[in-house]
Structure 1
Amino acid sequence: MDKIEKLKQLKQLLDDSVINSDEYNAMKQEIIAGNATYTLPETSSSPERTSPVMNKKGDIRLVFAGCKGFFFDVKTKIFINGTLLSAESTKRGFDLIAPISGRELSIRLVLGGMKSTTYEITEIEPNKDYTMTFSYDLTWGKYSNNFNLS
């Protein structure tokens, strides 16, 4: 994907309120400089809220019930194998479905652009459906390292 296409997709993420203007400006500079460390989805939106850069076989459902203890809502960015899937409410929670394309997944949850938790999942069946449930650790102020995969 060329820089112009990436910049158009990045602008669409800003217009859809997936990212804020500070994130947009930082990511735009990375794209222009040619040192972006992430992959933008091939399309700006999908009715099923899935990442279009992965081949669909099985699905993984990512579920977080929310953290009602937050006074202000903070966005959680969800990355799968380095690709931004979505940015969702941490206070209200999220329930997303993403396709599985291989036997390993790296899922990274970034809270407010500051704290992140990465889950490395190996030896999964790419043609099966899974549900992964996350919890929030109020003590550490980030997503818990513990999760439930079924």
Structure 2
Amino acid sequence: MSRAVTSGTLLKAVLRARDWHIYRVFEREYVRAASSIGEDLYAPSPRTLRRWQNGESEVPHGYHMSVLEAMLPGYTAEELFTPFDLLAGDPVPAPTPDRLQDGVCILCALTSCADQMCARLHAGSVWTWCPRCKGRGCRHDDDCIAGRREVYDYTAEDSDSEMRVAA
């Protein structure tokens, strides 16, 4: 019998979005992230992870915070432990990718773009993890930028002509 996904922390939502919510997968990624910052650490126990995901414990201290931030770049440990309602249907927020990917603007596709409109649109954009690649990056999907997809259409407020960017 499978349990329904309920509210918890943003950590729980991000791990689910990346398919890292199964303990063995989480453990592998945690140890990999710890190694990347020069730590030789074991992952927290399944019980501790469950408490973190359900918001039943305080923000961890010390090395756990550093490892989680290395494991999930773009999030602070404090953000990961904020409440998040998985049943509300809101997309799991992902860090905004850089506007220039390999020197090419993700909005206008120009190399070394310095257009202020692109910068304003990008600054107001909201992103979620790509459901197809789970944050690893799709090479064959134009909507996936560095493992993320834009969530909302938006319109530049002070533009002469409306410029819509597809989600």
Q: TM-score, normalized by length of structure 2?
A: 0.27
Higher strand share: 1
Higher helix share: 2
Q: TM-score, normalized by length of structure 1?
A: 0.29
